[in-house]
Amino acid sequence: MSIRRIFIPVATIVVFLLLWEWLVWVNQWPNYKMASPTDIWPAFWKFKHLFLQYGWQTLWRTIAGLAIAIVVGTFLGLIMGMSRSVREALYPLLVGFNAIPKATVVPILALMLVGEHNINTILMAFMISFFPIAVSVSIGLSTLEPEYRDILKALGASRFMIFRKIALPKTLPEFFGALKVAVTLAFIGTNLVEIIEPHGRGLGHLFDSAKINSDYPLMFAVLIALAFMGILLYYVVVILEQIFAGWAERSPT
């Protein structure tokens, strides 16, 4: 971790906040049009215990949904990557499923699992985020050059051995690329349920309460908190990627 890798992103965020503050100030925007960072901070501080409590609820349900998405997405990617027929069979279904606006699924889920708020939310986070994982794992596996397989096969390696020694590590960069997309999608999924079907939990609920009470700075504060958690989780993925797939990154020289 060089200074550059921490300093540059932090500096960018500071510049962004200053610019935001300045825009609101210059245009004399009222709070309901656009709250400024200096309005948002007090709103956050006032409800900081709620942010912690609800933020945690949103976070753990997002991570749980993401975990299911990783398991199911990787499994689907595996079977699609290994067999052409499975790939051809599943793609239309998956694409169709992915094309459904997830907001429309929220009431369906709510009816299907009445009162099971945690499960509802986790399911949505999973449904919205498994697709990129499945697709990229399957592409990673199906584009494995046949010579790679032959090198091990000629030595009498089993299918499992070929998978473990070659297919799995070779797919890791694609997997982590998809995981970065899936992380942010999972947050959208969790909040979709929390906002559309408020059941007194999560940051989505806090957002909804703020809306009802016309507390505009609080609404913005929730958005910032969500963005912050998204960034946090994203960097967790980046660190995991560097540990497990750091070899894929070429030195710039």
Partner 1 sequence: MAAGHSPGSHSESPLIQLKSVSHTFSTATGPLPVLDGLEISIAEGQFTAVVGPSGCGKSTLTRLIAGLMKPDTGEVWLHGEKVVSPRSTVGMAFQNPVLLEWRSILKNVMLPLEIVPNKLSVKEREERARYLLALVGLEGFEEKRPSELSGGMRQRASLCRSLVHKPDVLILDEPFGALDAFTREDLWQTMHTLREEEPFTALLITHDLRESIFLADEVVVLSGRPAKSQYVLSVDMPGKRTLDDLYTPQASDMLATLREQIKIAQGHGKAGGHSA
Cβ neighbours of 73 (radius 10 Å): 26
Q: What is the DSSP letter of 251?
A: P
Instruction: Please report whether residue 154 would count as binding partner 1 according to CB under 8 A.
Output: yes
CB of 153 to partner 1, least distance (A): 5
Amino acid letter for position 32:
Y
Instruction: For residues 249 and 251, give the distance between their C-alpha atoms in angstroms, rounded to a whole number.
Output: 7
Instruction: Please report whether residue 155 would count as binding partner 1 according to CB under 8 A.
Output: yes
Instruction: Please report whether residue 72 would count as binding partner 1 according to CB under 8 A.
Output: no
Instruction: Please report whether residue 161 would count as binding partner 1 according to CB under 8 A.
Output: yes
Pick the stretch among 1-9, 50-58, 142-150, 195-203 that binds partner 1 (CB under 8 A). Answer: 142-150
Amino acid letter for position 139:
I
- Of 151, 181, 223, 224, which one interacts with partner 1 (CB under 8 A)? 151
Instruction: Please report whether residue 165 would count as binding partner 1 according to CB under 8 A.
Output: yes
Cβ neighbours of 15 (radius 10 Å): 10
- Of 85, 92, 147, 212, which one interacts with partner 1 (CB under 8 A)? 147
Locate 144 and state its tokens. 């494995």
Cβ closest to partner 1, residue 119 vs residue 166: 166
Instruction: Please report whether residue 167 would count as binding partner 1 according to CB under 8 A.
Output: no
CB of 174 to partner 1, least distance (A): 13
Query: Is residue 202 a contact partner of residue 57, using CB atoms and an 8 Å limit?
Result: yes
Q: What is the DSSP letter of 197?
A: S
Instruction: Please report whether residue 243 would count as binding partner 1 according to CB under 8 A.
Output: no
Instruction: Please report whether residue 46 would count as binding partner 1 according to CB under 8 A.
Output: no
Locate 237 and state its tokens. 């993925």
**Which residue, among 76, 109, 79, has the nearest Cα to 94 in the 3D structure?**
76
CB of 137 to partner 1, least distance (A): 16
Dihedral, CA atoms, 34, 38, 43, 47, nearest 10 degrees? 140
CB of 179 to partner 1, least distance (A): 17
Amino acid letter for position 217:
P
Locate 7 and state its tokens. 């300093």
Instruction: Please report whether residue 180 would count as binding partner 1 according to CB under 8 A.
Output: no
- Of 46, 153, 199, 211, which one interacts with partner 1 (CB under 8 A)? 153
Instruction: Please report whether residue 245 would count as binding partner 1 according to CB under 8 A.
Output: yes
- Of 166, 196, 223, 224, which one interacts with partner 1 (CB under 8 A)? 166
Cβ neighbours of 138 (radius 10 Å): 27
Is the Cα dihedral 65, 211, 44, 24 positive or negative? positive
* Residues lying near partner 1 in the complex (CB under 8 A): 145, 147-148, 150-157, 161, 165-166, 169-170, 172, 245, 247-248, 250
